[in-house]
Amino acid sequence: VYVIGGEGIVQELQLAGFTALGGPVGAVVVGLDPDINYYKLQYATLCICENPGCLFIATNRDSVGHMTDLQEWPGAGCMVAAVCGSTEQEPIVVGKPSTFMMDFLLQKFNVSTSRMCMVGDRLDTDILFGQNAGCKTLVVLSGVTTQSTLDAPSNSIKPDYYTNKVSDILSLLGE
């Protein structure tokens, strides 16, 4: 596996029994990489385009991340887009809003999504993930999504519920 991303991705792959680099590359995994550069993109492109059957996997396609309350920084989606552009291929997205992980969990634990509620602070990933999976959704306004974003006429992603902070869930449960 060739990884464009943080050390956490490499560690998780090693725990799952995969080797990062070494031998023929069977998959390229792209996530958030603050040290991305031309050579990483070049090698990923070569792996995907010249190794038959090499998988192109994206951890997520978040265009931005919130490193501080005041600033949005480029997200993993920017790195993924660069590899999409150079390979002219679309990745298998395993992170939200893709239901890849939910499909795996449903198969493993045999629990109906009608009994689930996806809680998150982003409309375009968390809430869309819940909707795509068939769950109820609850957006928390203490993170990325604000009340004005939620209420904006241009917003097409409407959660089933919203609250100001995660601890509000306790009052919903009667505790």
Q: Distance between CA 172 and CA 164 in Å, rounded?
A: 12
Note whether 62 and 38 are within 8 A (CB). Answer: no
Per-residue pLDDT at 22: 57
CA count, 13 A, side-chain hemisphere, 28? 26
Q: Which CATH architecture has domain 111-173?
A: 3-Layer(aba) Sandwich (3.40)
Q: Which CATH architecture has domain 2-93?
A: 3-Layer(aba) Sandwich (3.40)
Please give the helix or strand (H or E) that residue 59 lies within, else none: none
Q: Say yes or no: do domains 2-93 and 111-173 share a fold.
A: yes
- Each domain of the chain, given as residue ranges in start order, spans 2-93, 111-173
Per-residue pLDDT at 20: 65
User: What token pair was written down for 106?
Assistant: 């449903």
Q: Which residues does the chain have with pLDDT short of 50?
A: none
Q: Where are the beta strands (DSSP E) in the chain?
A: 2-4, 27-30, 55-58, 64-66, 72-74, 92-93, 117-120, 136-140, 161-163
